[in-house]
Chains A and B, each alone.
Chain A
Amino acid sequence: MTRSIAKDEMRTTSPRRRASGRSTKDRSTKLPYLPTAAQRAIWVVAARHHTTGLMLLLTQYYLTPEQACSAGLDDHGALVADGFARPILVDPLDLPALGAWFAKTRRLKTPRSIATYLAGRLRKDVSAELRRVDPNIEWQARLTLRIQVLRRWAREVAVLDCGDEEAEYKEFCHDDEADPIEHMRQLSARSRRVLDDAAAVEAKCIATIRAQLGLP
């Protein structure tokens, strides 16, 4: 009886899972989040590949690959992209990298080429970089670098930056219905920080009890 119910559940959920575009193997073996070490490695490798500008467009400015392909800088140094009524203000520190990216003649110009770059060359080199730092972990087998992962990472950073300002977060996601809590269902950086803050209070209580019991 239980088995048949489980099968029914699988039947009802499988179409949704297929629609997510990830295989069962991926779901069972890949890390569901982007570790901080991997985030650092991405910037290191992107600088080596001269693709920092592209990574900024996809993460810092939360553009889709389509928008990133057709984007450009206007005369005032603002970012012009499809789907935006007004140019997007650019951080002065990001301008050199973005300028260099748009100045490149042989840059990635189609969403497909961007996807291939992320899942192929970037992922391979990021894994190699991570393995150099921590040889114990099989990063290449666990790491996924796809546009969805990068966008989730961007949202996580935005949630931490925006704090309780939901309006700012909505503006970042270009989505009036974006909900930071709803978006952070995995063990995100925000969740980790919240749990660590809760643990800090408990650790203090535990340390006090230890002192009372005369323990080191």
Chain B
Amino acid sequence: MVDTEVASRFDECLVADAARHATRLGETDELAPSAASRVAAAYVMRGFQPFLGYLERAERQGATITTLPRGLATPRRGAWQSAGDDRSPPPETWRTFLALLPELVADEALGRLVIIQCLAGLRANVVLALDRSCVIEEPEGLVLFLPWQVNKVGRGLGFIPRHFADLFGIEPSWFPPTAAPAPPEHARRALTACLERTYARFTERIGVPIVGTPAKLTRPALFQLMREHLTGRDREAITAHAGHTSPKMRASYLQARAEEIARFRARSTLRPPRSERVDD
């Protein structure tokens, strides 16, 4: 079993290895300390990727892997860490944000759309393309028929559970009678800016910052929040909610996105940035 403790111990070992290797490089190759540590980090991380592959295989064989090692915080931090890592805020922050949301967007013209975006976990473009005819009321909540023109994965369904709809008072009348299937760029920017303002107001009010790209933040945050109450058997539901028709995309949500992280890291390892190449 690989849990947080084991993963962090592995990361500590990686740091120690890199430090040792950097010292050796400094002594033998007479490299400057910063260059030595950069080269050592790249060297160690190259061996890290096969280990992630090994963990993936072990997981397929039945091993329990709850947390993947993060690797080194290299100078190009984003290259190793940002692609598939969960950048969503802690559940408690997200709950507080949702609790304050109606108040935060009270003065905004696009406030209702922001609420829909946060609760349905949809992209700004998709939210703007929704009209009344896209909303189908079900006993369990509102099903949103996402226009295929704007949805990245083609036709899909969004969903706002009944309990959320009741809590926020969401009704089909919140949606405009008609909407353009391809919303203009300025409208998308306006909605994203509105969401950013909402985050800023939240930070001002509570003092807890929400970092990251807002549009990308809402989806993982919502799914993370909902996933807390779902068992392994129920995960199909959240992947359906994510709206992906491809089993591969769904799998990325199912397996704690380990596959996605590994794939990204593999790509980075195959082609390290120029500054980290040792063979130049």
- Residues on A facing B (Cβ under 8 Å): 27-33, 35-37, 136-138, 142, 181, 184-203, 205-207, 209-210, 213, 215
Contact = CB atoms under 8 A, between A and B. Distances in A.
Contacts of B233: 181
Given A199-B161, A202-B229, A137 B99 contact: no
Interface string B38-76: 000000000000000000000000000000000000000
B238 to A, nearest CB: 7
Contacts of B143: 33, 35, 187, 192
Given A192-B141, A202-B229, A187 B100 contact: no
Majority secondary structure, B binding face: helix
Nearest to A210: B99
Contacts of B167: 203, 206-207
Looking at B103, B228, B236, which has the most chain A CB atoms within 10 Å of its CB? Answer: B236
Given A187-B143, A195-B140, A195-B241, A203 B155 contact: no
Contacts of B172: 136
Contacts of B98: 202, 206
Contacts of A190: 237
A209 B132 contact: no
Interface of B: 95-96, 98-100, 103, 132-133, 136-141, 143, 145, 148, 154-155, 157, 159, 161-164, 166-167, 172, 177, 225-226, 228-230, 233-234, 236-238, 240-241, 247, 250
Contacts of B136: 31, 35, 37, 137
B155 A27 contact: yes
A194 B95 contact: no
A33 B237 CA distance: 14
25 contacts: A28-B155, A29-B148, A33-B157, A36-B138, A37-B136, A136-B177, A137-B136, A142-B145, A186-B240, A190-B237, A191-B236, A192-B138, A192-B237, A195-B161, A195-B237, A196-B141, A196-B162, A196-B163, A197-B229, A198-B237, A202-B98, A203-B163, A205-B95, A206-B98, A213-B99
Contact of B103 (A197, A199, A215): A215
Nearest to B242: A187
Contacts of A203: 163-164, 166-167
Contacts of A27: 154-155
A159 to B, nearest CB: 11
Contact of B99 (A35, A36, A193, A209): A209
Looking at B98, B159, B163, B229, which has the most chain A CB atoms within 10 Å of its CB? Answer: B163
A188 B143 CA distance: 11
Closest 5 CB pairs of A and B: A199-B161, A192-B140, A191-B237, A198-B229, A209-B99
Contacts of A136: 132-133, 172, 177
Contacts of B133: 136-138
B237 to A, nearest CB: 4
Contacts of B140: 189, 192-193, 195-196
Contacts of B137: 37
Nearest to A181: B236
B100 A215 contact: yes
A35 B139 CA distance: 10
Contacts of A31: 136, 145
Contacts of B177: 136
A44 to B, nearest CB: 18
Given A191-B237, A203-B167, A215-B99, A32 B157 contact: yes
B175 to A, nearest CB: 9
Looking at A30, A136, A198, A201, which has the most chain B CB atoms within 10 Å of its CB? Answer: A198
A15 to B, nearest CB: 17
Contacts of B164: 199, 202-203
A193 B241 CA distance: 12
B229 to A, nearest CB: 4
Contacts of A206: 95, 98-99, 167
